[in-house]
Amino acid sequence: MNKPKKVAILTAGGLAPCLNSAIGSLIERYTEIDPSIEIICYRGGYKGLLLGDSYAVTAEVRAKAGLLQRFGGSVIGNSRVKLTNIKDCVKRGLVKEGEDPQKVAADQLIKDGVDILHTIGGDDTNTAAADLAAFLAKNNYGLTVIGLPKTVDNDVFPIKQSLGAWTAAEQGARYFMNVVAENNSNPRMLIVHEVMGRNCGWLTAATAQEYRKLLDRAEWLPELGLSRESYEVHAVFVPEMAIDLEAEAARLRAVMDKVDCVNIFVSEGAGVEAIVAELQAKGQEVPRDAFGHIKLDAVNPGKWFGEQFAQMIGAEKTLVQKSGYFARAAAANVDDMRLIKSCADLAVECAFRRESGVMGHDEDNGNVLRAIEFPRIKGGKPFNIDTDWFTQTLAEIGQKKGGKVEVSH
């Protein structure tokens, strides 16, 4: 064992219901083992690292670190910064012209006396961490980078379950339980629930499953119009499954005629290629972020699906609601907290061994919880539409499963 002298923590990318819990769990575990180990938290993710902006974790902070379990978000702040995107870093004033952001970050870690860096983020964050770890090793900086996998999409190879995804599904279901009551605000109502998931439909499918569990536990009074049929999920659309718009429209029109409403769950990444092609054909530019990803708010898939189906099924009113920001900023639930704690404990153990990698249950190695090598970490893991519980969901709501679609990342 080689005890760390100083540890740094940063969170990056979008929010997920695990960030504060992971920060708190790491602080508590280091404090349990050896409170003399110094801890700092970089403010605003990689931005704070580049600028040397950090919080000191004092004895008072250590004593109250458990409070973080009660809150969503990241108290130390996030940012979307790609260290290998030099042009973007210069443009944002994070490095000077001619500087290499990776070297600036590495030098800042040395200046701060850090020998262990914990990164908490999704595939972009951990890809950046992998690049930084490789840079540190190549240039003999003697630092160890240890990642924790955060993403509500649950789409990181080869990790079985990403931190925060279970909570996001549960919270999205709670969100829609209120929204769905709008089905009786207007005759022939179409409600589109857009769920986060750029290239992966896991969260949409899991949210639909969690929502239907809420329906299973509810009592109904159909004699006065309170029927499960009007609260039911009538269709689930994910990027990995082909959609026959005309066939689905015919099926959903029959639902509308019978129930007087239709409720659709759709991934924000479903149908994006078709939408982008349509926008580009009109001469419209499609904006992208620092990582080259299409900005989905500009594409607005939920609105597109609503427009496609409204006329085809004879909807009088269409309501599009997005649960993403509600779900991703929640505090971690019990299941996620258990997973986060086990990953954080292993991360600290790895710090003492100077073992780099991303903590997770390795799908290529019997789902054992271990430090997964950075080069093996990548995003874009598709949701398996043949998963038993998803197949059962589609069968129960009367939706025919579409063919598999290859989703680009």
For 300-313, the pLDDT digits (tens) are: 788 888 988 999 99
Domain with CATH 3.40.50.450 in the chain: 6-161+332-376
Higher pLDDT, residue 375 or 126: 375
CB 144 within 8 A of CB 351: yes
Task: Quick: pLDDT tens for 5-42.
Answer: 999 999 998 999 999 999 999 999 999 999 999 999 99
Pairwise CA distance, residues 372 & 376, whole Å: 7
CATH 3.40.50.460 in the chain, residues? 165-328+385-397
What's domain 165-328+385-397's superfamily in CATH? Phosphofructokinase domain (3.40.50.460)
379 marked as binding residue: no
Residue 152 annotated as lining a ligand binding site: yes
Q: Identify residue 42 by its one-letter amino acid code.
A: Y
pLDDT digits 0-9 by tens, 220-276? 999 999 999 999 999 999 999 988 889 999 999 999 999 999 999 999 877 666 656
User: Per the annotation, does 242 bind a ligand?
Assistant: no
Q: Binding residue per annotation — 326?
A: yes
Question: The whole model's pTM is what?
Answer: 0.92
Q: Give the catalytic positions in this structure.
A: 153
Asked if residue 327 belongs to a known ligand binding site, the reply is: yes
**For the structural domain made of 6-161+332-376, what CATH number should be given?**
3.40.50.450
Q: What is the mean pLDDT of the chain?
A: 92
Q: Do residues 312 and 243 touch, judged by C-beta distance below 8 A?
A: no
Check: CB of residue 271 under 8 Å from CB of residue 194.
no
Q: What is the SS3 assignment for 277?
A: helix
